[in-house]
Amino acid sequence: MSTPLKGRTAIVTGAGRGLGRAEALELARLGANVIVNDYGLPGRDGTGGADATPAHQVAEEIRTAGGTAIAHTGDVADHEQAAQLVQAAIDTYGRLDILVNNAGILRDRMIFSMTEDEWDSVIRVHLKGHYNTTHFAARHWRERAKASGAPVFGRIVNTSSEAFLAGSAGQPNYAAAKGGIVGLTTSTALALAKYGVTANVICPRARTRMTEDVFAGFAEPAEGLDPLAPEHVAPLVGYLVSPAAANVNGQLLVVHGGMVAIVERPRVRAKFDTAKEVFTYEELDALLTPHYKERPPTETFAAAEVLSLKRD
């Protein structure tokens, strides 16, 4: 069995269930020491002792399969607890090599019905949670690179969503957070490249506890692996954090159901210059109104066509 991550240490957040669990298991299968992070009560149903949390259960699953793992139950959206998570990797295994940010929640609502708390909580867990762990991991890698005088091995995989790409009408908080994560990733990719660190972002589609309502209308097949199974996503994460992906940096990839799509960066569709020193309302009206007149009203900056992507 190939173990390209042997000797590497990885953090996976939100790894007690769903996508994060599948990713943690895959990284362990590829040889990594895994810190399984998941914030929550003991036991999947809120019962059991301190070692019965979802994070502990997945860590035990990894160890039973012959891998190496510990659990961490801190809240990544809390700055100090995120620092403790990164420090746990360093204290236990000597260093951190891989960070997979997956933790998140949903509070779906139309923009006119959304409460302030529904907005703040989703932004906090997704966007701030990604920032917190990335901040402390980046500091660790920068300090190591400066101490050694050479680049180190560092990999970040962040989790965005097709909700950002397609403009999900019922998820303004989630879409905004996921769009922010893309910006965070591309900025981080440029900032850390000189230290030997790559940062990429995936838009996965998977049936998990968090998305069970979203995919309620998509029945699981009677036979074979569910096209929405998290196991379709985990191998791409394993690749992106491996030495083989050294030249993959600042990229956005959509993944689900046996398919990986590389999303092109935005491109300029049209450009207009003023014939005078500065635009006037009348000049803009003459230029932009005809340009948009024939465009379908549903054609926006959002790329709704990504929702139709599937394995051929």
> Which residues are tagged catalytic?
161, 174, 178
Are the C-beta atoms of 102 and 203 separated by less than 8 Å?
no
Phi-psi region for residue 43, left (φ > 0), alpha (ψ -120 to 50) or beta?
left
Are the C-beta atoms of 250 and 165 separated by less than 8 Å?
no
What one-character-per-residue DSSP string does 183-203 give?
A: HHHHHHHHHHGGGTEEEEEEE
**3 state SS of 290:** helix
Are the C-beta atoms of 34 and 65 separated by less than 8 Å?
no
Burial class (CB in 10 A: 0-12, 13-18, 19+), 295: exposed
Burial class (CB in 10 A: 0-12, 13-18, 19+), 84: middle
Rounded to 5°, the CA angle 199-74-20 comes to 50
User: What stretches of 149-223 show up as alpha helix (H) in DSSP?
Assistant: 162-166, 172-192
Q: What is the distance between the alpha carbons of residues 100 and 134, in angstroms, rounded to a whole number?
A: 9
